[in-house]
Copies of this chain bind each other. A is one copy, B any other.
Amino acid sequence: MSEALVAPLSDADATIQSMDDASPAKWHLAHTSWFFETFVLRDHVPGYRIHDERFAFLFNSYYEAEGARHARPHRGLLSRPSLDEILAYRTAVTNAVLAAVPDLPPEAEALVALGCHHEEQHQELLLTDILHHFSVNPLQPAVWPGAPKVPVGMPGPIGWIEGATGEVCIGANIETSSTSRDVDNRVRTTTYSTSPQARGEVERAQTATSSTSLPFAFDCEGPRHRALLHPHALADRTVTNGEWAAFIADGGYRDPRHWLSDGWTWVQREGIDAPLYWQQRDGVWTRFGLDGRRPIDPAAPVTHVSFFEADAYASWAGARLPTEFEWEAAAAAHDPASGNQLDTAGPVEPRPSIGGPAFFGDVWEWTGSAFRPYPGFRPPEGAVGEYNGKFMSGQFVLRGGSCATPRGHARASYRNFFYPHQRWQFTGVRLAKDL
């Protein structure tokens, strides 16, 4: 599917890096194939010949164990290799993985699964990075022009769902060797391949070699353990654009009492006065999306807000953010497959939530939980051990997946994480309160 995402992009579109946090589309495409090439083909396929020795330097993201690499802020300075060359690289790697799958040892099969989920993560990043890149172009081009929006009904006032109290089970069961795979996962992991045919082949290949074990989860989602919940309730939906406009109108961005100290510093220093991509002209708020600049939909979930903003909004609303455990305990009973995620037919944007409580899709929900290891957490050995553990300082957990998250990539135990000032992902807010 990654190839489908870049179909509307020119070589130049795919080359630019619009801020240090983002990467060029070309880089995402090449990096995810480099991951397969390095950890699967190079390490587990005898006789495999590296496609281009220079790519390790260019497309290693942050794996210190894999040696020197191109500085992240310079990723946008690479007009060569071209988009076409990178697509050819991808095809070569994908074909080599397909050919190798039937004979892979079990630990390499786990790496194939990891590689597929890794690519799904980058599919979401690719979309949000393109969105940012197009947003800084004064011409404000649309990735997918899309159709005019038809307003749907407004959601009613927030309702409160009382959460469980006492000890609950949290997290995913993880085999400490990180080599677990599972049948369900096989369907999802096919999304990385370049054609329906290829997709089917990987699926079949993996099925043929797998024995059923645990569902896939990243290392940081486990170990599964007990956590203690105190009396609380969660909102039955996320905060809307309309509600956020009221927060702005009430001076929410100018009153330090609502803000964490670091957040207030950030607001002052950066001149923040609205969500990312919002602009006000003649009293009307617009936002920039993958379909260009359009008026905000007051009924849709607010998105592109930072943790600092989410926390300030909650303070203003007399509430707080949920903990990640409160969220997971409540979400576990809901079906991840029902949300507004990437593979649905419609446009890639949050949609008004009309109906029962929804926990998956639309926007990632900031929690009040710092991203720290679960009891008993140990990172896997080797370079892939750098996957999540080393990011466990300074970031906050988000839950639930967004409209840009590939379907199948959201689950109750999934822990996304970003720094509290970051907001170029599709991030939103669900309120909680003590009972």
Contacts and interface: CB of A to CB of B under 8 A. Distances in A.
Interface stretch (A33-41, A74-82, A178-186, A333-341): A74-82
Contacts of A390: 259-261, 264
Given A11-B10, A13-B79, A393 B74 contact: no
B18 A15 contact: no
A51 interface: no
A228 B226 contact: yes
Interface in A110-126: none
- In the complex, the count of this chain's copies comes to 4
Contacts of A264: 64, 390
Interface in A358-397: 368-370, 372-373, 375-376, 390-394, 396
A393 B260 contact: yes
Interface of A: 10-16, 18, 54, 57-58, 62, 64-65, 70, 74, 76-83, 133, 136-139, 141, 167, 225-228, 230, 232, 256-257, 259-264, 307-308, 311, 320, 368-370, 372-373, 375-376, 390-394, 396, 420, 434
A64 B257 contact: yes
A390 B11 CA distance: 38
A372 B368 contact: yes
8 contacts: A15-B16, A76-B76, A79-B133, A226-B228, A230-B375, A260-B390, A262-B391, A370-B372
Contacts of A263: 393
Contacts of A79: 10, 12-13, 15-16, 133, 137
B262 A394 contact: yes
A433 to B, nearest CB: 11
A77 B16 contact: yes
A420 B141 CA distance: 40
B12 A262 contact: no
Contacts of A307: 393
A12 B83 contact: yes
A56 to B, nearest CB: 11
B133 A77 contact: yes
A434 B374 CA distance: 11
A400 to B, nearest CB: 20
B77 A167 contact: no
A54 B140 CA distance: 11
A420 B256 CA distance: 24
Q: Which residue, A58, A81, A136, A375, has most C-beta atoms of chain B within 10 A?
A: A375
Nearest to A368: B372
